[in-house]
Amino acid sequence: MPIRLRKFLGTIALFVLVIAWALVAMALAQSPAIHDSALLSIAYYVIAGIGWVLPAMPIVAWMSPRRASEAAKPDA
């Protein structure tokens, strides 16, 4: 797959991931346990704010160009 197409598809996937993550995080933040406790609210927003990075890492790795050693191998 050409790198330009791979980056385009990866960008679309990242946009979808971030939008879905934000919508789910906002919906969960309205639960009474999180909404009523200041300490729990802070912890939730820190975890939810950083948490999207974990599912995004494989997408970014897939988007990146292959290393020279991998590109030099002939396809089997």
pLDDT of residue 72: 55
**CA 14 to chain centroid:** 6
The amino acid at residue 47 is I
Which pLDDT value is given to residue 70?
61
Report the pLDDT value the prediction gives residue 2, as an integer from 0 to 100. Answer: 87
Residue 47 has pLDDT above 70, yes or no: yes
Q: How confident is the model at residue 73 (pLDDT cuts 50, 70, 90)?
A: low
6-43 confidence digits (pLDDT tens) = 999 999 999 999 999 999 999 998 888 888 889 999 99
The percent helix, strand, coil of the chain (3-state, each to 5) is: 80, 0, 20
Could you count the other beta carbons within 10 Å of the beta carbon of residue 44? 19
pLDDT at 75: 57
Looking at this protein, which amino acid is placed at residue 64?
A: S
- Contact present, 17 and 56 (Cβ < 8 Å): yes
